[in-house]
Amino acid sequence: MPEIRLPPKFYPMFKPKPIKVFFGGRGGAKSESFVRVALVQAAKEGRNFLCLREFQNSIEESVHALFEEVINSTGMSHFFSVLSNKIDRLDPNTGETIGAFTRYGQLARNLNSIKSKANFDTAWVEEAETISERSIEVLEPTVLRKPGRELWYSFNPEDEFGPVYKKYVTPHREHINKHGFYEDDLHYICKVGYEDNRFLDEVFLKRQAQMKEDDYKKWLWVYGGEPFGDYSKAIIQPEWVRASIDAHKKVGFGPLGISAIGFDPADEGSDAKAFIERKGSVVTAGEQWHGGDITEAIGKVFDRCYHSNSDYLIYDSIGVGTAVKTAIAMRDPIGRIEMVPFGGADKVDNPGDKYSDKDNENTFKNKRAQYWWFLRDRFEKTWKAVEKGEYFHPDELISLSSDMEDLDTLRAELSRPQRVHRPGSSLIQVESKIEMIKRDVKSPNMADALVYAFANPAPVDHGSIDINFASEW
């Protein structure tokens, strides 16, 4: 058996699993790696493959040419015979044809005919970003009705509301962002990118690096493996977030000043709980988690506040958040930690304070809009400081430590909330969590916790105190 090179991220392809989904940006070697795995499985295990696309008008539009190229380049021509419209498996000892290794088909026009196909062990859907909901509904039960069969998907995300992304990736996106993959008894879902492919040449690496520098939003889609996003309504732009990572090291300031923790205790059972910790303008830690009740979550966050010597705990006071203040007071009877409730629908803080050419009351709809916009200002100023060399006081900036837990999740969440415009109102408004859920965007728990972390009241300036000591006791 010839040596078959494969990026390590694809080794789990050899583990039996009914549904395997690999997605990501350009350069991740998804198609070629799938071909290599398929050839090994065909040569060693005798597996046959049904190669599908949603749209495919000719053999030239299939992965047929890629199979032929890999067979020739890896020296596997004594295992396979490449014909004009299929590939046969050969007995390597006698050279006799054993049977068809690959067959091809398109789903859009021949979906019902897929139900009748029986002589295959794996169905591979290439360019699965174009697959329809109807195709998925038919494919999964059709392929998996025979024990041992597998259904493979490979694709570059187009739209986060695309059927295959929404069905297989979205429910596990947080886990994938954190670990790079998700696995259960039925699925293996993995995000791969150019950084996982050690066989790339310098030309490719330079090209992607240049795009990252010139057009970060486009880079996120083309090379970063993120669905194409319309950021025109996003409050915080993704390139601002990118610039903020370790900004304190780039610009030159330290984690000095107020120590605060923002806490989102989750509104419902399926929602994630999250906290963010900051010292001055540096976000030093953050985490989100599922499971456990509110009492356990409060205990976890209180321990974090206690050991971090936090000055403030700012928490979502809506819903289950109403229990936070009482529970913390029981743990902190002397009130060392100042508790600050945050109600997103509440009136703005400091309504008469100047913001731009108006005051807060005539600029923002509510407290949620006010502090999301204040956070936006920090990110924009940080981007200007890092990328353009403009000077701002460190108290106006924000830095996300690169070693914080769940950083990728926070980065993704920060660019999801959008500004909304209401007829007859010029006030700045931010869509609510309910509005985000209606457009199939999960509640931004970590991002909200970050908003809370910077929503503490301004420290009271007590001024100088003169103390006169008596000359004698």
List of domains in the chain: 8-202 (3.40.50.300), 230-453 (3.30.420.240)
- Specify the residue for token string 């499971």: 291
pLDDT of residue 270: 59
Which residue stretches of 358-406 are H helix? 367-388
Q: How many Å separate Cα 383 from the centre of its chain?
A: 21
pLDDT of residue 115: 67
pLDDT of residue 102: 79
Whole-number percent of the chain with pLDDT over 70:
92
pLDDT of residue 130: 84
Query: What type of residue sits at position 439?
Result: R
The predicted model scores a pTM of 0.71
Q: Which two tokens stand for residue 14?
A: 């050899």
pLDDT of residue 468: 46
Q: How many Å separate Cα 454 from the centre of its chain?
A: 23
pLDDT at residue 328 greater than cutoff 60? yes
Whole-number percent of the chain with pLDDT over 90:
51
Q: Do residues 346 and 318 touch, judged by C-beta distance below 8 A?
A: no
Q: Place 471 in a pLDDT band, splitting at 50, 70 and 90.
A: very low
Q: Place 152 in a pLDDT band, splitting at 50, 70 and 90.
A: very high
pLDDT of residue 465: 46
Counting beta carbons within 10 angstroms of the beta carbon of residue 210, is it exposed (0 to 12), middle (13 to 18) or buried (19 or more)?
A: exposed
pLDDT tens digits for 51-78? 888 876 555 557 888 999 999 988 888 8
Q: Place 406 in a pLDDT band, splitting at 50, 70 and 90.
A: confident
pLDDT at residue 154 greater than cutoff 90? yes
Residues written for the chain: 473
Q: Do residues 146 and 135 touch, judged by C-beta distance below 8 A?
A: no
Q: Which two tokens stand for residue 87?
A: 């590939």
Question: Could you give the CA distance from residue 453 to residue 22 in angstroms, rounded to a whole number?
Answer: 36
3-class DSSP state of 329: helix
pLDDT of residue 469: 40
pLDDT of residue 337: 86
Buried b (16+ CB within 10 A) or exposed e, 140-169: bebbbeeeebbbbbbbbbeebebbbbbbbb
CA atoms within 13 A on the CB side of 34: 27
3-class DSSP state of 240: helix
3-class DSSP state of 454: coil
The more confidently predicted of residues 401 and 409 is 401
- Specify the residue for token string 């090994």: 40
